[in-house]
Amino acid sequence: MSEEIERKFLLNELPADIATWPQPAAILQGYLQKDQHKDLRIRKKGNKYTLTAKHGTGLVREENEQEIDKTLFDILWPFTAEARIEKLRYTRVIDEGEMVIDKYLGDLSGLLLMEVEFNDEQLARTYSPPLNFAKEVTDDPRYRNAALAAHGTPAI
């Protein structure tokens, strides 16, 4: 089990230097369950399959992840039909921790979200993002992936 300390920002555009970042990973994910307080997700990233339980909302969330095999993923996938997401994930290490930009595809095409995962809570509180962004959405439940998968892109 691990705790995530992260802030989330809605971007207007990809960073100008995105071509110099490492190649993005194609992610396919679906939700087996989701409500206001917890969600249960499966994900395919390259040839790696994971199941992740998240509890809590906002800045600090508890996360419990385990790798699963393709057979189990294939059994579970039909149960995610109502809530799926496809995206390209750009990832870069920064001084404060890790910067992740998700470029959504499919129904959510056009949506760009940046998450910064911090090494500690103090860094999270004082951080100011270098990029041009529309607004911070850390505490906006409409921008949780489970909500995006179910309800689509929020009106700003």
What secondary structure does DSSP assign to the chain, as a single string?
-EEEEEEEEEESS--TTGGGSPPPEEEEEEEEEE-SSEEEEEEEETTEEEEEEEE--SSEEEEEEEEE-HHHHHHHGGGGTTSEEEEEEEEEEETTEEEEEEEE-GGGTT-EEEEEEESSHHHHHH---SS-EEEE-TT-GGGSHHHHHHH-SPP-
Please select the residue that binds its own copies; options are 25, 26, 60, 75, rule is CB under 8 A.
Answer: 75
Binding of its own copies at residue 72 (CB under 8 A)? yes
Burial of 75 (0-12, 13-18, 19+ CB in 10 A): exposed
Amino acid at 38: K
150 binds its own copies (CB under 8 A): no
Quick check: 2 binds its own copies (CB under 8 A)?
no
Which of 5, 10, 27, 40 is the binder for its own copies (CB under 8 A)? 40
Candidates 19-27, 74-82, 93-101, 141-149: pick the segment binding its own copies (CB under 8 A).
74-82
Q: Is 31 a catalytic residue?
A: yes
Q: Which positions from 78 through 97 interact with its own copies, judged by CB under 8 A?
A: 78-79
Residues that contact its own copies, how many (by CB under 8 A): 16
Residues 48-67 that bind its own copies (CB under 8 A): 51, 53, 55, 64, 66
For the CB of residue 51, give the shortest distance to its own copies in the complex, in Å: 7
- What amino acid positions are annotated as catalytic residues? 31
Q: Which residues bind its own copies (CB under 8 A)?
A: 32-33, 38, 40, 51, 53, 55, 64, 66, 68, 71-72, 75-76, 78-79
